[in-house]
Amino acid sequence: MLSKGKSRWADDEEDKVLDVQRKKEKEEKKRIKAEKARKAEEEAAAAKQAQEQASKAPDSEIELSSRPLKRRRLSHSPPALVESLPPARLLRFPAPTWQKCRSVEDFEKLNDIEEGAYGWVSRARDTISGKVVALKRLKMENNNDGVPVTGLREIQTLRDCEHENIVALREVVVGEDTSKIENIFLVLDFLEHDLKTLLESMPEPFLTSEIKTLLHQLTSGVAYLHSNWILHRDLKTSNLLLNNRGVLQIADFGMARYYGDPSPKMTQLVVTLWYRAPELLLGAERYGTAVDMWSVGCIFGELLTSSPLLQGKNEVDELSKIFELCGIPTEATWPSFRRLPNARSLRLPKNPVAQGSVLRSKFPFLTTAGSKLLIDLLGLNPEKRPSAKEMLEHEFFREEPRMKSREMFPTFPSKANLERRGRHGTPNAPGRGKATEMGEVDFSGIFGGGIGNGEQERGGGFSLKLI
């Protein structure tokens, strides 16, 4: 085997020599082509030469090795044909590298970001680059198995993602003592808000145009995840971040994992209760992207009312709240639901209320397309829920009022950044501001966004117009 290998090398050397020879030939030919008169003769000669060479080559090869003739023919027999091909443009892949984690000591802590919403996250500055980032500390609760699998999955999935609506994981850093890796921190892009805190502190809910901007970005992110075979499994408003430039990003991949088709058996203990799809509550072990879409539906509803849609106290209560809002499943609307583990003990009324009717009346200000989308997302049958990709094409995003462009998106004081709504209640200084206030109703879209005063834009008449 080794000797065979050696002879291969020898051949390669020889090939190179021949290659050079062939190249010379080519050049010669090109010159000859310019002289059109002699072209035909020369070509014939070249062909003859090539033939001779081809017939000569095997002889020399046999001396060197017993390699089959196939490869020689491969590169040499039709020189005329090879010549006509331009050099191939090969795809070159990026080749990132790996290196040791930096120490968390390279970061200077600025402040803690609310603990409840994020877990342990703090705002910090990279002392080397000067960039402000969010540092998220991995929970090491179950130390029996080493680094917890949830944390590893979070890193694994986030690292593979590159999308503007998914929070970027810059790197992973560890505590100073590297003899035992116990403190692990994710270095994430810092965004000023999370949607939950924002919704709680906003005096008025988002406008329809703003909701569309947010929902569309959320759906783009989810579509990206699903097309990369990642289930998020914990979509909720506190895991959605928003910066002051109107960009929404999905964060917290602690529950995320890769899935397959057909989906593997997975735990049904995922997704925060209020956002958990009925099939999970009924104990399904094989589920798919539809569980994320249910959560998207819940978030849609929450954006409309500023408070979570289905606030169940426990699994049973959550399920009954779902049935209250979305109707009772029947064999017709959700054929296989009876076969789910927890459905056997379920006692349902005989004459179910028509599905969707409650949702429609709960959101009277929503257009027909809007409520159709919400009803579809909160459909009990996971098969019928629209996929993220389908949702992006939905009529709701195309009809008036259009999505507010990100540049026009209002900004808010950031709690994570320790900002406060300081000017609350104080009248604005006269002068420049005055003119904008005059045109408030008609031009709010034009003046909205860019300038820092969130409350000002709130006054716009979009909700009125909609009715």
Rounded to a whole number of angstroms, the minimum distance from the CB of residue 151 to another protein is 9
Helix/strand/coil (H/E/C) assignment for every residue in the chain = CHHHHHHHHHHHHHHHHHHHHHHHHHHHHHHHHHCHHHHHHHHHHHHHHHHHHHHHHHHHHHHHCCCCCHHHHHHHCCHHHHHHCCCCCCCCCCCCCCCCCEEHHHEEEEEEECHHHHCCEEEEEECCCCCEEEEEECCCCCHHHCCCHHHHHHHHHHHHCCCCCECCEEEEEECCCCCCCCCEEEEEECCCEEHHHHHHHCCCCCCHHHHHHHHHHHHHHHHHHHHCCEECCCCCHHHEEECCCCCEEECCCCCCEECCCCCCCCCCCCCCHHHCCHHHHCCCCCCCCHHHHHHHHHHHHHHHHCCCCCCCCCHHHHHHHHHHHHCCCCCCCCCCHHHCHHHCCCCCCCCCCCCCHHHHHHCCCCCHHHHHHHHHHCCCCHHHCCCHHHHHCCHHHHCCCCCCCHHHCCCCCCCCCCCCCCCCCCCCCCCHHHHHHHCHHHHHHHHCCCCCCHHHHHCCCHHHHHC
- Of 34 and 85, the one with the shorter C-beta distance to another protein is 85
**Which residues does 317 contact at the CB level (< 8 Å), separation at least 6?**
none
Beta bridge partners of 174: 103, 184
Q: How far is CA 73 from CA 15, 68, 70, 377, 413, in A?
A: 11, 10, 5, 61, 72
- Of 62 and 353, the one with the shorter C-beta distance to another protein is 62
Rounded to a whole number of angstroms, the minimum distance from the CB of residue 85 to another protein is 8
The token duo for 437 is: 């206030």
Rounded to a whole number of angstroms, the minimum distance from the CB of residue 89 to another protein is 9
Catalytic residue of the set 194, 234, 252, 292: 234
- Of 84 and 314, the one with the shorter C-beta distance to another protein is 84
Rounded to a whole number of angstroms, the minimum distance from the CB of residue 6 to another protein is 9
**Which residues does 102 contact at the CB level (< 8 Å), separation at least 6?**
171, 173
CA 135 – CA 187 distance, rounded (Å): 5
- Of 199 and 266, the one with the shorter C-beta distance to another protein is 266
- Of 78 and 461, the one with the shorter C-beta distance to another protein is 78
- Of 97 and 426, the one with the shorter C-beta distance to another protein is 97
- Of 71 and 109, the one with the shorter C-beta distance to another protein is 71
Between CA 159 and CA 165, with CA 163 as vertex, the angle to 5 degrees is 115
**Tokens 């179910």, residue located:** 352
Rounded to a whole number of angstroms, the minimum distance from the CB of residue 393 to another protein is 24
Handedness of CA 293, 297, 298, 299 (dihedral sign): positive
- Of 9 and 347, the one with the shorter C-beta distance to another protein is 9
Q: Which residues bind another protein (CB under 8 A)?
A: 1-2, 4-5, 8-9, 12, 68, 70, 73-75, 77-78, 81-82, 88, 90-101, 145-147, 149, 152-153, 155-156, 159-160, 171-172, 174, 178-182, 184, 258, 260, 264
Active site residue 234: yes
Rounded to a whole number of angstroms, the minimum distance from the CB of residue 158 to another protein is 10
- Of 49 and 75, the one with the shorter C-beta distance to another protein is 75
Determine contact, residues 76/145, Cβ cutoff 8 Å.
no
Give me the active site residues, please.
Answer: 234
